[in-house]
Amino acid sequence: MAIEVSNLDKEPVIIPHGSFFYLWCCDCCLRHIVFVDKDNDGNAVIGLVRDDKATEDARKIDKVVVYKRKTKDKHGKKKSNSNT
């Protein structure tokens, strides 16, 4: 079953190949830069890169705290991951 883009959203966003857009997570303020291109066969090629600086800044402004699970080091002792 093919999914039609027009069925996903009333206002689809058309991204020209060779360009990019930002993708934000509403809950944790994580931002990715999404690159859009096409290959020689005309297929869409999409790449994502996390924008750590924008994510850090947005989380500070919005006072978002992201908790990480405690992990064990190679000796079995619990260590705490930093909050980002």
Structure tokens at 45: 């090629």
SS3 (DSSP) at 72: strand
Residue 33 has pLDDT above 90, yes or no: yes
Residue 49 has pLDDT above 50, yes or no: yes
Beta bridge partners of 34: 21, 48
Structure tokens at 6: 């027009």
Q: What is the mean pLDDT of the chain?
A: 81
Highest mean pLDDT, choosing among 1-15, 25-39, 66-80: 25-39
Residue 48 has pLDDT above 90, yes or no: yes
* pLDDT given at position 11: 73
